[in-house]
Structure 1
């Protein structure tokens, strides 16, 4: 992938069919390309058009003084992709359900997709319900469709109420919210980040597999078992003629060294930059998907997102439900957020690529 950056260029407004034909005929990898500064057509919506954005990602509202991070458009190397069209997406989702399940980065993506669609219709036609950060739903009433988020950072079951106060991650048991995922027309999953947390950040005391409690098991092995549990659930419960399944790749963080996100306003230009997230975890995801009976589309946003050290909330965010104080903002090494993403911002591009893939799935028919 090239990280080369071009100056602003007016988006041509090509016809949808032409752009999709371009992608298909060239067998274009839409995840390989470059970032183009585009202040003419980006951002795709304004933060003020999305009143339900959480404080965690509302960087402009929280006082971030620079806004160029909102104005970058992704351009694949060998083709052009359609500009996101909220009404077109809603038409394709008429009478349908989209579920987005995973960790808080998938919640970040849910907020982005919901804002993209919310800004395309009158507010009176939309309904948004939020149950803390665990469950969120956007409904477009005229289109009878919903975008639902379920917080499930492992996809398998974390039991925090087991005997003696021990937190148990059950590797062969799906998350309790999985029963609510059934029947959705589009599913978008992710997991990975919470598996590699150590020390106080580790969310389990014991792992459980086939009835046996384990204290020590290699993270990669535990993750592989958990991914296979998810894969078997998909294969048993999803009808691929009715449901399209996506798995979003790892969202990179910029917490270390010279690529630390604090006060960064420029993209990473170093082609040799390598993400520090454990490669075996990424490999397990890709291998699991390849071996599944049910087709799963891989939303491979890792590399294109690695260049966006400028796009994190940094200190313009909230922690435990409260905006950072001035004192906390002066301690970015403690309170700075280099994991989540500002909105409008990078996750909008993930959803543009999701939109492109859904158009390719059914170029002339609704989903």
Structure 2
């Protein structure tokens, strides 16, 4: 997937570049070296060059000269250098996730490393991203958040190859089901795959809907490969609807915890399913608005959010185990992506615009709660982990406080938004959701190769 550029590698790159600069000022006529000294230094330099080129072959992330037009570590401000220095040291000798490393490697146990070969695309080259996710086009002054790559401790992930992914998806369907953060990830996948398609007009929504449609579902076809990449909006993954007759007057609607979302008829036969849930499971979005929890025909007035969320995941797992052909369909469930509001919430002046760099600290216990619930459900179900691959992105995403749209979600040309209207839930594109999709890519390819 990726390139193994680390803070240690980067410092080595700078050292060799400094050496090359100094060698330009070397005077071969100086009496203490003379021609033999110059010859020796020249040979050493050539040898070092080929050594570095060999390193680049073995470790695809190592780049002697980097990309033109990108920010090199030597030109970073001090706070960015400090963040790179705090990142855990690189580990050598890892196996590739697709060629042996996947047997024992936990791809969610790792660290963020600086990689100057990122991002994998530019937002201005992708017509399939919402204006609200185009942070650089919307006035964000820094691009540091686009340069971090996820590196597992015990293996190397394959670098995302859009052509290969599309070829594997030929005549097939990939569907994302969840909330607006799931949509964020879906749009990231569209942008990643579109890098392999010169004619963007050959990628289109099958019903003629624009990317700005935010209700129901969207299905984009990649005509050259006859495959579709789909999004179905379902914030709770279960049915939300009118309460049963005779319900208390406070009950305006209910979440039917024992019925998976109505759209299942449209997505259950897809070849790859990626679910997410969590952001809408809050008091403000449920009970405060008169939305209570229902099982059968009974409204559970005293059921708490934790129990309700758990039951929704149980319903999803039961549905997948009984109604989805998991021999054909690969199913993934991505865990909660933490928000990073400071000084308030989304509607009380919370902010994150000053968070320009990752925080490599551990995941707090209160954030771990949703992950534990999902993991617990899968563990207790007799087929849980057999039919659903859990994508535990919560710890790695918690560290990426720098990647939110914050002030920069009002569309190109509108500039930063007001300080009291920041978005610290959704993510800039390119950015963190691309990493989630690199994990999807790795899991997808591993299953494909295991069957070939």
Aligned counterparts, 1:155-166, within 5 A: 155-159=237-241, 166=252
Higher RCO structure, 1 or 2 (CA under 8 Å, sep 6+)? 1
| Residues 238-266 of structure 1 deviation map (CA, whole Å, 9 limit, x = unaligned) | 11110100000110111146996222111
1:8/1:36 contact within 8 Å kept: no
2:138/2:416 contact within 8 Å kept: no
Who is 1:289 aligned against? 378
| Greater CA drift, 56-65 or 125-134 | 125-134
Report deviation, 1:85: 0.1
2 CA distance for matches of 1:157 and 1:273?
31
2 CA distance for matches of 1:190 and 1:174?
13
Who is 2:213 aligned against? 132
Who is 2:173 aligned against? 97
1 CA distance for matches of 2:265 and 2:316?
13
1 CA distance for matches of 2:409 and 2:8?
29
SS in 2 for 1:20: coil
Say which one has the larger Rg. Answer: 2
* Uncovered stretches (5+) of structure 2, i.e. residues with no partner: 1-5, 11-55, 62-94, 345-349
Report deviation, 1:52: 2.4
RMSD of aligned alpha carbons: 2.9
| Residues 249-285 of structure 1 deviation map (CA, whole Å, 9 limit, x = unaligned) | 110111146996222111103x345264361x32221
Who is 2:161 aligned against? 85
| Residues 270-307 of structure 1 deviation map (CA, whole Å, 9 limit, x = unaligned) | x345264361x322211222315252111111111111
1:194/1:202 contact within 8 Å kept: no
| Residues 127-180 of structure 1 deviation map (CA, whole Å, 9 limit, x = unaligned) | 134472232222111111111001101110111598788122111122111111
TM-score (norm: length of structure 1): 0.86
Report deviation, 1:124: 3.0
| Residues 330-365 of structure 1 deviation map (CA, whole Å, 9 limit, x = unaligned) | 32xxx1111111000011011111111111112276
Which one of the candidate residues 292, 303, 312 is aligned to 2:395?
303
Number of matched residues? 350
| Residues 42-78 of structure 1 deviation map (CA, whole Å, 9 limit, x = unaligned) | 1001101111211221111111111111111111112
Report deviation, 1:28: 1.3
1 CA distance for matches of 2:286 and 2:319?
30
2 CA distance for matches of 1:277 and 1:339?
14
Who is 1:277 aligned against? 367
Residues 275 and 136 of structure 1: CA distance in aligned 2, closer, same or farther (over 3 Å) = farther
1 CA distance for matches of 2:395 and 2:176?
21
Who is 2:405 aligned against? 313
2 CA distance for matches of 1:326 and 1:161?
43
Residues 18 and 326 of structure 1: CA distance in aligned 2, closer, same or farther (over 3 Å) = closer
Who is 1:262 aligned against? 353
SS in 2 for 1:283: helix
Who is 2:226 aligned against? 144
Which one of the candidate residues 96, 102, 114 is aligned to 1:24?
102
2 CA distance for matches of 1:327 and 1:117?
29
2:260/2:316 contact within 8 Å kept: yes
2 CA distance for matches of 1:212 and 1:80?
50
| Greater CA drift, 5-14 or 208-217 | 5-14
1 CA distance for matches of 2:130 and 2:335?
23
Aligned counterparts, 1:135-214, within 5 A: 135-159=217-241, 166-198=252-284, 202=288, 204-214=290-300
Residues 124 and 199 of structure 1: CA distance in aligned 2, closer, same or farther (over 3 Å) = closer
2 CA distance for matches of 1:38 and 1:345?
13
1:38/1:71 contact within 8 Å kept: yes
Residues 161 and 111 of structure 1: CA distance in aligned 2, closer, same or farther (over 3 Å) = farther
Residues 60 and 148 of structure 1: CA distance in aligned 2, closer, same or farther (over 3 Å) = same
| Greater CA drift, 123-132 or 180-189 | 123-132
SS in 2 for 1:149: strand
| Greater CA drift, 202-211 or 309-318 | 202-211
Which one of the candidate residues 304, 310, 313 is aligned to 1:224?
310
